[in-house]
Amino acid sequence: WISLSSLLVSLLTFWNPHPTAQLTIEPVPFDAAEGTDILLLVHNASQNTIGYYWFKGNTTEDSHEIISYSILTQNINTGPAFSGRETLYTNGSLLFTNVTKEDTGFYTLRILNNDLRPVLATGEFRVHEPVTPPHLTASNTTVAEGESVELTCVPNDTEISIQWLFNNKTLPLTDRMQLSLNNSILTINSVKKTDEGEYNCEVSNQIFSQKSNPIMLTVIAGPGGDDIPGGPSPGGLSPGAIAGIVIGVLAGVGLIAGLGYFLFFRKTGGASDQHDLTEHIPSASNHSPGPSDHSPDKGDDVAYSSLNFNIQELTQPSSPTSPSPTATETVYSELKKK
């Protein structure tokens, strides 16, 4: 035994190319889902290594030994902390299969070199459980402009962070909004019509995320507002849509009138401001496709398309303009719940 290792010591001493290289442990991956596998890779192990000893935790106490491998004897021994899910490779790397949340933590590797001086390195990984959907409540789902409203996210999980979604996209925080320390309460002060829409909170850890039930916030005209109180009439058009129609109709009328003038001026030999008229009228309706053909029977078509456009835009202020967000969306002042 002793003579054998002494022989190896003398032989291997000459073959150490990086005597000062730092022994390190790399977890692959660092964050993992329960039930998956994690490999603790050993880097910069000395060429003179004669044994690997793995321990659970930041310790080398015998009671925490998981598994060891002696290169000299080619023996693998399991320790008290061995779960049956660990596999030790001959290069020292340790594989964990079907990891559980309890596997989260530090792992220490002790390497024995041929000079019999142990070298230590510590690695760490985290195992995450699936999360369940949080529950979202609101102080009131119908609020008047200028009032404030409080949305409360109640998660069922620990060690999660909370994000807020508005119409399925990350909520853009305005200076009228404030979040509680752990993001669980969203307060919107001086509510505006633009705050109307669908709200969700979302809980996530490094691997999993879940969206809450949606809450539809309706904003009605505040005291002194010039809109009809009571919000949009059921199945009908919101005040905004009615305004849109009025604007659309006026724009259409203006357009027809403008075209009439234009045609009149063209027929009567034209005035110097004919060019100005045709430019100003389309910009008044904002969304007019712009009359490229000035023939009289096209006038009505142009007016209708401009009218339709206005209705569509104003009756769907909360329609999504992009697909659903992913779990990796940016988070504002995210805080971990401990």
> Rounded to an integer, what distance in angstroms lies between the CA atom of residue 83 and that of residue 27?
18
For residues 63 and 80, is the Cβ–Cβ distance under 8 A?
yes
> Rounded to an integer, what distance in angstroms lies between the CA atom of residue 195 and that of residue 189?
10
Phi-psi region of 107 (alpha: psi -120 to 50; beta: other; left: phi over 0): beta
Which tokens go with 213? 């039930």
User: Residue 144 CB, nearest distance to ligand NAG (Å)?
Assistant: 4
Q: Which is nearer to ligand NAG, 43 or 266 (CB)?
A: 43
User: Residue 99 CB, nearest distance to ligand NAG (Å)?
Assistant: 9
Q: Which is nearer to ligand NAG, 103 or 299 (CB)?
A: 103
User: Residue 244 CB, nearest distance to ligand NAG (Å)?
Assistant: 20
> Rounded to an integer, what distance in angstroms lies between the CA atom of residue 245 and that of residue 233?
16
User: Residue 200 CB, nearest distance to ligand NAG (Å)?
Assistant: 8
CA angle 30, 36, 40 (to 5 degrees): 40
Q: Which is nearer to ligand NAG, 300 or 334 (CB)?
A: 334
> Rounded to an integer, what distance in angstroms lies between the CA atom of residue 212 and that of residue 193?
23
User: Residue 111 CB, nearest distance to ligand NAG (Å)?
Assistant: 13
Q: Which is nearer to ligand NAG, 115 or 147 (CB)?
A: 147
Q: Which spans of this chain sit near ligand NAG (rule: CB under 6 A)?
A: 21-22, 24, 35, 41-44, 58, 89, 91, 93, 98, 100, 106, 122, 132, 140, 142-144, 147, 155-156, 167-168, 180-182, 184, 198, 318, 320, 324, 337
Q: Which is nearer to ligand NAG, 208 or 265 (CB)?
A: 208
> Rounded to an integer, what distance in angstroms lies between the CA atom of residue 275 and that of residue 260?
14
User: Residue 186 CB, nearest distance to ligand NAG (Å)?
Assistant: 12
Q: Which is nearer to ligand NAG, 49 or 288 (CB)?
A: 49
